[in-house]
Chains A and B, each alone.
Chain A
Amino acid sequence: MISQILFIAITLAAIALFSFNLKKVIRNIKIGKAADRTDQPQKRLMTMIRVAFGQSKMVVRPIPAALHFVVYIGFVIINIEVLEIMIDGIFGTHRVFGGLGSLYNFLIGSFEILALGVWVGCAIFLIRRNILKLKRLNSPELKGWPKSDANYILITEILLMTAFLIMNAADAKLQALGAHHYITAGSFPVSQFLQNLLPASEGSLIAIERGCWWFHILGILAFLNYLPYSKHFHILFAFPNTYFSNLEPKGEFSNMQSVTNEVKAMLDPSFTPPEAEAGRFGAKDVNDLSWINLMNAYTCTECGRCTSVCPANITGKLLSPRKIMMDTRDRMEEVGKNIDKTGSGFDDGKSLIDNYITREEIWACTSCNACVQACPINIDPLAIITDLRRYAVMEESQAPSSINAMLGNIENNGAPWKYSPADRLNWAKEN
């Protein structure tokens, strides 16, 4: 009875803490400007099913795709096991779904195989990161917390799967001993090989079984609360992120409505633009970006597929699309903390551009969309880069001088080069 109360209390506390942090994350995302992405619901749903559920963009790299798929399926399916653990924990039952008989045996058997798969997958992931030191997973922006974060996630998953398998091994042994409370249920294709490693006495086995049970569920609850601090948040945000992703052609950049009004007024004096609140052109800080950009930042799992295909990055330039997303998230978190401390009007004198993302980075971009194409969950780093450029050019007039010359030529000659508009048809006459 005490353990049930304890279990319920811990579970409720964990869910409450998670809800509290999730609310804060959503508040942070809402720092961003409004953007409407509610059109074409059917196409959006299909995109989410294909890209997030179906992992369709992962397959470009078959090895990590296969490993990730096992871990992903393991995560989704083993949640059925978590449901049983929750019910057992609340009502003090044991293997409450055991009555399902052969179906239950099949489920537990497949969970065990998946658990082994997850274990092996995570172990290979650790090796790729720390021993093989894959370039994509050892870039400068991953030093410190992002590197530890990735390792913590993988080690935790390995520990959770280990606990699950040892728990089953002890349980099977207890079932064989006919111990009280341990009904005969489940099949154990993987954990049977662990049984010999466990002690024979009923008391020790119960201690191990209960210990692993508690470790497993506490681990899951702790992991849940770790998510808001971690790149692992993608396991939740991948779904809304793909749903609200850009459905237009990648080459299409948004037309800024505020500019349209001003340009129309300039070209046609009789045009009166609708009243709009004075905003900034482009983005200096996270509050100038849209909520989509900010949700993208929380969704990014720092896999670096974007950076590894970025032509600027490949040729040694400072730009890394992954860093753009990480910087955006870091700055958003910082602004969020400022709001917590001093309210929304607070200005800490910092901004996303310059304090986080340098000019050199944004001017290295060729807008080729390789990063957008490569992202397995439809994140768009280019949209942020464009908005930062817009700020630099339209608010500050701080573009590289050759860019200013090009802009001047377009304005005066209708071409990015300094040629006379009168010569535009010369190609048809000269030979």
Chain B
Amino acid sequence: MSEKLNIEVPTMAEMIARGEEPEILFWVGCAGSYDERAQKITRDICKILHHVGIKYAVLGTEESCTGDPAKRAGNEFLFQMQAMTNIEVLNGYNIKKIVTGCPHCFNTIKNEYPGLGGSYDVIHHTQLIQDLISEGKLKAEGGESFKGKKITYHDPCYLGRGNGVYEAPRKALEVLDAQLVEMKRCKSNGLCCGAGGAQMFKEPEKGNKDINIERIEEALETNPGIIAAGCPFCMTMLSDGVKMKEQNENVQVLDIAEITVRANGL
């Protein structure tokens, strides 16, 4: 696992104080900031940015929830309060480009902030990784070999169907020389992990089974060594599912960023 972060993570405030400007703002998101599992992914994204020498910064304590769960739950007031406050901070720092590890933050900032006065060039971290691979800056060399390993990728709804990003995460896996297997329901036909639309924060309504179990059963049918994810919420749901199925000895759930870091030995 990606452990110690031996690099300094610069905040916007520090950068501005030094009279510098970052190329890109790394929007960490609430899950990436507080969820123990997602924090590892956050640190790995920093390692990638540091490794390729992109000048980046985070907002740190100046960042706040994008408002995504509030909006999906129907609280437009709270969403817009959050959005406008965040936009004020972002515009105050003259931010142009944003990368984030969370498809929910990605969707909200990219699509819903412009109408409220915040227009930025927003990319998901898998898109950044795709670009870096295309530019030859990430090579999947010098680290762990994934050769021949069976990997299946779960499409997060807000990255895939929500915004049509299907290829970038797959590109990051293709360079590994691993054996990629698609689940029956993938890409535009992908099945939700069960966390979106603010479900993450409530008990599921009653039914026959939980959605993440349905999803994990389908993932396990491909007999994977690794289930790849690109969203901290999917990560929680899939990891829980693997545990429930008592498969955590055999199957790892890893974010695309974590896989990239391992493959490149960062």
Contacts and interface: CB of A to CB of B under 8 A. Distances in A.
Interface of A: 60, 248-253, 255-256, 259-260, 262-264, 266-267, 281-282, 309, 311-312, 314-319, 360, 363-370, 372-373, 386, 388-394, 399-400, 402-403, 405-407, 410-411, 414-417, 419, 421-428, 431
A421 B201 CA distance: 19
Interface stretch (B127-135, B155-163, B166-174, B254-262): B155-163
A60 B32 contact: no
A428 B5 contact: yes
A244 B82 CA distance: 31
Interface string B147-191: 000000000011001111000000000000000000001001111
A360 B76 contact: no
B64 A414 contact: yes
B200 to A, nearest CB: 8
A365 B214 CA distance: 16
B111 interface: yes
Given A60-B189, A282-B74, A368-B161, A428 B9 contact: yes
A416 B74 contact: no
A318 B205 contact: yes
B251 interface: no
A406 B33 contact: no
A414 B33 CA distance: 12
Given A369-B161, A370-B191, A407-B73, A419 B197 contact: no
B42 interface: yes
Nearest to A310: B192
Nearest to B10: A428
Contacts of B77: 259, 262-263, 281, 394
Interface stretch (B55-63, B138-146, B239-247): B55-63
A366 B196 contact: yes
Contacts of A264: 84
B211 A315 contact: yes
14 contacts: A249-B111, A255-B115, A312-B207, A315-B208, A317-B205, A366-B195, A368-B161, A368-B197, A390-B74, A390-B76, A399-B75, A414-B63, A416-B30, A422-B61
Interface in B100-114: 107, 110-112
Contacts of B63: 414, 424
Nearest to B211: A311
A251 B72 CA distance: 10
B215 to A, nearest CB: 8
B207 A316 contact: yes
A356 to B, nearest CB: 17
Given A260-B116, A315-B207, A428-B46, A423 B73 contact: no
A370 B30 contact: no
* Chain B interface size, under 10 / 10 to 19 / 20 to 34 / 35 or more: 35 or more
Given A402-B202, A403-B201, A410 B3 contact: no
Given A249-B111, A369-B161, A407-B70, A419 B202 contact: no
A423 B203 CA distance: 26
Contacts of A282: 74, 76
Given A260-B80, A403-B202, A251 B189 contact: no
A282 B71 CA distance: 12
A266 B84 CA distance: 11
A317 B33 CA distance: 32
Given A266-B81, A411-B78, 10 more contacts: A252-B111, A360-B205, A366-B192, A368-B197, A394-B77, A414-B30, A419-B33, A424-B61, A425-B60, A427-B33
A316 B80 contact: no
Contacts of B69: 406, 410, 416
Contacts of B65: 410, 414-416
B78 A251 contact: no
A431 B4 contact: yes
A410 B80 contact: no
Contacts of A410: 65, 67, 69-70, 78, 82
Contacts of A428: 5, 9, 43, 46, 58, 60
A370 B192 CA distance: 8
Given A315-B210, A367-B197, A424-B33, A263 B75 contact: no
Nearest to B205: A364
A403 B42 CA distance: 26
A389 B74 contact: yes
B75 A314 contact: no
Given A251-B163, A255-B80, A425-B33, A399 B195 contact: no
Contacts of A407: 70, 73, 75, 78
A416 B66 CA distance: 10
Interface in B185-232: 185, 188-192, 194-211, 213-215
Contacts of A315: 204, 207-211, 213-214
B35 to A, nearest CB: 8
B234 to A, nearest CB: 11
B205 A399 contact: no
B252 interface: no
B202 A400 contact: yes
B138 to A, nearest CB: 22
B259 to A, nearest CB: 19
A414 B30 CA distance: 8
